[in-house]
Amino acid sequence: MIGIFGGTFDPVHFGHLRPALEVQQMLGLQQVRFIPSGHPPHREMPRASASQRLAMLRAAIDEQPGFVLDEREIRRQGPSYMVDTLLSLREELGETPLCLILGYDAFLNLPDWYRWEQLIELSHIVVTHRPGWLLTEYRANPELVDLLEQHQQSLSQLGRQQAGGVVFVPVTQLEISATSIRRQIRDGESIRYLLPDSVIEIIEKQHIYR
């Protein structure tokens, strides 16, 4: 099974890295592919350039076995739709089960994603719990209630199919966001221990987020 972890990673931080590692271990994933979005369709353009975000991610995951940087969304023209990303991965990887890893906040917005109903045909969806979000919040959205009624599974079932399951996984709760890291840099505060030193070094050398 291969994990797919998309985001703006502006910058990547321990709130991305630790949950990704825990999901990798819990599900026995051969790989977790970090896929930074080129042109995120649902938000403003990232503050750091694509090449800076790639450099920061590369530095963060370099030494971790199974963590892989996947540049396909950055290289593609136009908005970075996850459905296109999964279609291209499916073409490349054949029948390998794919697991799209989403924080709970991202999961709550899923019905707004382009052709979102197709995502579950192409991969499993693995939802990690994120601080500050009630686990019952999805019930306000009938589309998510339907999705879970039809697709929620136990962890052990996932590997049996290439796609089609939704699971919730508990991960260590780390109240870290890229937004707050960018704010702290602007305010001249230390960002140490929120993200890897190798990433901080790049931010400082290149004066990103100043």
Sign of dihedral through CA atoms 188, 192, 193, 196?
A: positive
CB 50 within 8 A of CB 58: no
- Closer residue to ligand ATP, CB minimum distance, 160 or 175: 175
CB 121 within 8 A of CB 162: no
In angstroms, give the least distance from the CB of 95 to ligand ATP.
25
In angstroms, give the least distance from the CB of 150 to ligand ATP.
22
In angstroms, give the least distance from the CB of 14 to ligand ATP.
8
- Closer residue to ligand ATP, CB minimum distance, 13 or 158: 13
- Closer residue to ligand ATP, CB minimum distance, 152 or 180: 180
**Burial (0-12, 13-18, 19+ Cβ within 10 Å), 187:** exposed
Q: Residues in the site for ligand ATP, rule: CB under 6 A?
A: 7-10, 15-16, 19, 102-103, 105-106, 128, 130, 174, 176-179
One-character DSSP codes across 83-106: HHHHHHHHHHHTT--EEEEEEHHH
- Closer residue to ligand ATP, CB minimum distance, 127 or 158: 127
